[in-house]
Structure 1
Amino acid sequence: MLIIKNGTVLDVEKSKSVKMDISIEDGKIVAIKKSIRAKKDDCVIDAEGKIVAPGFIDAHCHLGLMGDSVGFENDDVNEKSDPITPQMRAIDGLDPMDRVFKEAYQGGITAVATGPGSANVIGGQFAAVKTFGKRIDKMIIKAPIAMKCAFGENPKRFYGTKGKMPTTRMGTAALMREALYKAKEYMEKLEAAGDDISKKPAYDARWEALIPVFKKEIPLKAHAHKANDIFTAIRIAKEFDVKMTLDHSTDARCIVDELAEENFPMIVGPSLGHRTKVELVNKSFKTAGVLNKAGIKMSITTDSPVIPLHHLPLCAALAVKDGLDKWEALKAISINPAEILGLEDRIGSITVGKDADIVIWSNDPLQVDAKVEYTIIDGKVIFSGEEDNE
């Protein structure tokens, strides 16, 4: 058994910090008490004067799909051969040996949702994975976790320069509707055929991959920056009665009154860096605070590799500087992304029964000088100080 003693535990669900001991067994948190007596064979970490936080989570990134310090050889983030590729699976391209995974867990990030980029109208399946491991199959929390789709500049820029649909926002929406209609029809034919194989439609990997969306097992994961793109995404989600998260949401604070009427979770960012295109003109760290005050479920993203994943706490801190409550910032990189991904039963907070994904910090993790002293994933100390414990 692993026991963490004397640490100040961040209870993100109750927005308070408490001095508690934590015991961990078989990868799970089994007890949180004021005092836990260690037995002879227990491994004990003394966290006196330290902050004990849940492992942080990024609900939208491309970790492992765009190799660090390499070119096209390890660029697997977009399958640019067709604007409709829902059959792509992130797990088939992820490279957990890329050093960005190590940087992530050394920076206190223990889980992510990662997957295809936004070149395609429908890009493929995201996966939720832990950030430590050598084989992606052993790191998966849930796959698929969402179906990536994209609105705005990116699809029309890539295919438009090739003279291929979509060259406009109208074209993007039309392709999206067409694909969703065909997938729904395919699913209905499968259901109507029952066990009669002679009546089943010919197998189509694209439409098969979209069935979990219609069954509301996974949401659409909509890349949308501009207000009109956000509203188009909402329009289509309502037309087809599917779940959806709104990712990036750069213009969201400009239309917050409208968005407050809807019930779509929002994954905000990346807010750090240059405004590299027209649809980022309203990029600001103020957005997170505005959405939170409006009662909208919100998490913060780095969109790694746009911002290196280990800077996720820094992004949360900058949101605090621009008006977001500190506890809400901590929630935005822990329990909120867990809930948005539908994984709150396993990750996102230090709670008995959940995965033992815990990070011990030298001080407040939203302080720039805070250092990770221990990273624990699935109950195993995988990083301490400057050393990995593999």
Structure 2
Amino acid sequence: MKTLALLLATTVLAAASAAQAATVAIVNARILNPGAAEIANGTVVVRDGKVSAVGANVTAPAGAQVVDAKGGVVTPGFVAVNSMLGAVEVSAVGDDVRITTPDLGAAFDVQYALNPDSTVIPVARLGGITSAVVTPTPEGGQGGAGEHDDSGQDTSGAPASEHAHSLFAGQAAVIQLARGQEMLVKPRVAMVAPFGEAGARVAGGARGANFVLLKEALADVRAYMRNRAAYDRAGYRDLALSRADLEALIPVVEGRMPLVAVANRASDIRAVLKLARDEKLKLVLTGAAEAWRVAPEIAAASVPVILNPVLNRPTSFETLGSTLENAARLEKAGVTVAIEGNSGAHRAHEMRYNAGVASANGMSRQGALAAITINPARIFGVGDRLGSLEPGKDADLVVWSGDPFEPLSRPQLILVRGEAQPLRSRQLDLRDRYLDLKRPMPPGYSY
């Protein structure tokens, strides 16, 4: 597409402010928008970094830069969930989403370590991802740093007051993946807590301990809210959590911040649903390998579910019910589903393939598209800005060469806040550097 290439070259080289000030009209496009009928031949108008108009009868404004999609597919930019984008480079040498200190839990906030220059981000962007929810990783979760014996039980010998901090992994943040721009969209969008096997480990070895300690922690938060003055003058009883953790949990107990509960087994999910009812918590389920088994209960509670639909074999006793039809069965029951990518950051770009797998196993195509766009945006409180092509929202969109769920389809143009992004990554640069084996190798490769 020569017109696309020309727009990309001129817009990327322009200053960010100039790029956002430009009016761009993408014409002759097949528009796929969650919650709306497909537009076989339509136009998307972008002005000042926002979507200005979308439709079959929309015309390009006078003076607009016109991009001829030539029948290519236009979708909103995808929203990655359970992501480590901007918080990790090489997992083996550490990340910024996991803590092991006994003095901090709920107050841990991922927003302070985000790196917009991460080499992982362009790879994710080439998978159509323009936004992400960066999520703390529970200490007792898969790959956690707790001290365990071969049975998976906690052998640290820590008292209950120390376990209390590990009940909460910290607070998630929403970011956008534009090159060279402030990436933070919204901080403190959710609190993450492990349940099931992971929750048992951080609580001392048993699921029951996890719930008892968590309920005690929430009671301490409410007591702290009622008695701040006494707490400040050291005239109140000892509380299990630090002041920072207590403050961070106030939005959770007030129902303003969702609790993202990591749970897989059907019985664990039921227990978490009951906890949320009893404590009046706003809940989001993640992991959810056996969520399909309790789909009616999840739907009745209006609790959204984040899952990976390609998980179809058990990796532990709590995931015995894994199935490729998990997403489809939840959708049929009326549950709001969000689909994640693989491996947190380095394989986040595979999220669109996962949506395709869900669609191939019974989920509607509209539902699969919504699961990687508007659903995660709404779950984490940014649905007014991201997740769909609607006037007034950020102009985060992708022009695809074909069906975005097909691995051979490629992005032809990526806009984030109306600014065209490079269609390059470190992977592609390395491929091109060493594609011609007749070229002289760097000194380190000469023998």
Matched, 1:182 2:202: no
Matched, 1:75 2:113: no
Q: Give the distance between the partners of 1:365 and 1:154, measured in 2 at CA.
A: 35
CA contact (8 A) 2:375 2:387 kept: yes
Q: Which residue of 2 aligns with 1:37?
A: 60
Q: Give the distance between the partners of 1:237 and 1:143, measured in 2 at CA.
A: 23
Identify the match of residue 126 of structure 1 among 165, 172, 175.
Answer: 172
Matched, 1:369 2:400: no
Q: Which residue of 2 aligns with 1:162?
A: none
CA contact (8 A) 1:152 1:225 kept: yes
CA contact (8 A) 1:271 1:283 kept: no
Question: Secondary structure, in 3 states, of the residue corresponding to 1:167?
Answer: coil
Identify the match of residue 286 of structure 2 among 235, 247, 253.
Answer: 247
Matches within 5 A, 1:181-200: 181-190=219-228
Give the unaligned 5+ runs of structure 2: 1-22, 140-165, 429-447
Matches within 5 A, 1:135-284: 138-157=182-201, 159=202, 165-190=203-228, 204-269=243-308, 271-272=310-311, 275-284=314-323
Question: Secondary structure, in 3 states, of the residue corresponding to 1:11?
Answer: coil
- Shift in Å, 1:71: 2.2
- The more displaced of 301-310 and 256-265 is 301-310
Percent identity between matched residues is: 29
Q: Give the distance between the partners of 1:17 and 1:150, measured in 2 at CA.
A: 42
CA contact (8 A) 1:272 1:307 kept: no
Question: Secondary structure, in 3 states, of the residue corresponding to 1:383?
Answer: coil
Q: Which residue of 1 aligns with 2:82?
A: 60
Question: Secondary structure, in 3 states, of the residue corresponding to 2:169?
Answer: strand
- Shift in Å, 1:200: 10
Q: Give the distance between the partners of 2:274 and 2:102, measured in 1 at CA.
A: 24
Deviations 1:94-131 (A, max 9, x none): 33322221111111011111121122421100001112
Q: Give the distance between the partners of 2:292 and 2:285, measured in 1 at CA.
A: 13
CA contact (8 A) 1:8 1:20 kept: yes
Question: Secondary structure, in 3 states, of the residue corresponding to 1:71?
Answer: helix
Give the unaligned 5+ runs of structure 1: 160-164
Residue type of the partner of 1:36? Answer: T
CA contact (8 A) 2:45 2:52 kept: yes
Matched, 1:321 2:360: yes
- The more displaced of 286-295 and 360-369 is 360-369
- Shift in Å, 1:176: 1.3
Distance 1:222 1:99, change over 3 A: same
Deviations 1:133-180 (A, max 9, x none): 457xx21221111001110122434x4xxxxx4211112112211221
Could you tell me the TM-score, scaled by structure 2's length?
Answer: 0.77
The structure with more radius of gyration? 2
Residue type of the partner of 1:184? Answer: R
Question: Secondary structure, in 3 states, of the residue corresponding to 2:185?
Answer: strand
CA contact (8 A) 2:309 2:357 kept: no
Question: Secondary structure, in 3 states, of the residue corresponding to 2:227?
Answer: helix
CA contact (8 A) 2:309 2:355 kept: no
Distance 1:234 1:90, change over 3 A: same
Could you tell me the TM-score, scaled by structure 1's length?
Answer: 0.88
Matched, 1:305 2:326: no
Q: Which residue of 1 aligns with 2:331?
A: 292
Distance 1:235 1:364, change over 3 A: same
Which protein is richer in strand relative to its size? 1
Identify the match of residue 108 of structure 2 among 80, 88, 107.
Answer: 88
Deviations 1:222-261 (A, max 9, x none): 1111112212221221222110101121111122233333
Residue type of the partner of 2:207? Answer: R
Matched, 1:26 2:48: yes
- Shift in Å, 1:357: 0.4
- Shift in Å, 1:283: 2.4
Q: Give the distance between the partners of 1:130 and 1:330, measured in 2 at CA.
A: 19
Matched, 1:335 2:356: no
Residue type of the partner of 1:112? Answer: A
Deviations 1:73-97 (A, max 9, x none): x323221223960000011233332
